[in-house]
Chain A
Amino acid sequence: GEDVEQSLFLSVREGDSSVINCTYTDSSSTYLYWYKQEPGAGLQLLTYIFSNMDMKQDQRLTVLLNKKDKHLSLRIADTQTGDSAIYFCAEGLNSGGYQKVTFGTGTKLQVIP
């Protein structure tokens, strides 16, 4: 079945770049997602990449997709204290009339001032 793996914790200094990595198992995924969850809040769709792309840049965020290795990464440039949150990688698989989204365990990003 589908499985998404992430490291649990990442600590960076303010102003540095953060790179959060993710691996997934299903090569027929349609979309790969990054969601952000701040303490006590919901899941904010941060960015996503279609499976036939290998890179997407959106302001400070860069998503890299290596489909051969089933590896997805999220790079946050110039990381700020407001970026401290849990970041969930997720894969979307179209399945008979709906998109099944499978989430990773989340990576807790701690930004040190």
Chain B
Amino acid sequence: EPEVTQTPSHQVTQMGQEVILRCVPISNHLYFYWYRQILGQKVEFLVSFYNNEISEKSEIFDDQFSVERPDGSNFTLKIRSTKLEDSAMYFCASSVQEDQPQHFGDGTRLSIL
């Protein structure tokens, strides 16, 4: 069964550094999402992306964050200047249409030191 794949599985970064989290959505999916889960808390929506532009973003997704689809297969989340509170599990998801179920990857655990 097709899967959403995310790399790396664990990223350790010094505070203030830039980090890029990578995702390969399911190949025929058109809608892409990033979520995060701070340890012990709920999974929170960050951003949705369609047709090479952001369709919606939450208040968490401030100017430090950006997303990009640099080619036909990858979908990336960049955090420009990481803070301690950015430490979380980041999940990528994709769906074939906007009103279809979202399929999630295994996540990237981001640890900011």
Contacts and interface: CB of A to CB of B under 8 A. Distances in A.
Interface residues of B, number: 26
A104 B44 CA distance: 10
B95 interface: yes
Contact of A99 (B41, B43, B44, B95): B95
A98 B50 contact: yes
A44 B55 CA distance: 24
Contacts of B100: 99
Contact of A97 (B6, B55, B93, B95): B55
Contacts, number: 66
Interface of B: 6, 31, 33, 35, 41-45, 48, 50, 55-56, 91, 93, 95, 98-107
Which of A48, A98, A101, A106 has its CB near the most chain B CB atoms (within 10 A)?
Answer: A98
Given A98-B55, A99-B100, 17 more contacts: A31-B101, A35-B104, A42-B104, A42-B105, A43-B91, A45-B102, A90-B43, A94-B99, A95-B56, A98-B31, A98-B48, A99-B95, A99-B99, A100-B48, A101-B33, A104-B42, A105-B42
Nearest to B51: A97
A90 B104 CA distance: 13
A113 interface: no
Chain A: interface secondary structure? Answer: strand
A30 interface: yes
22 contacts: A31-B101, A41-B106, A41-B107, A42-B105, A43-B91, A45-B103, A92-B101, A94-B99, A96-B55, A97-B55, A98-B31, A98-B48, A98-B50, A98-B55, A98-B98, A99-B31, A99-B102, A100-B48, A101-B35, A101-B93, A101-B102, A103-B42
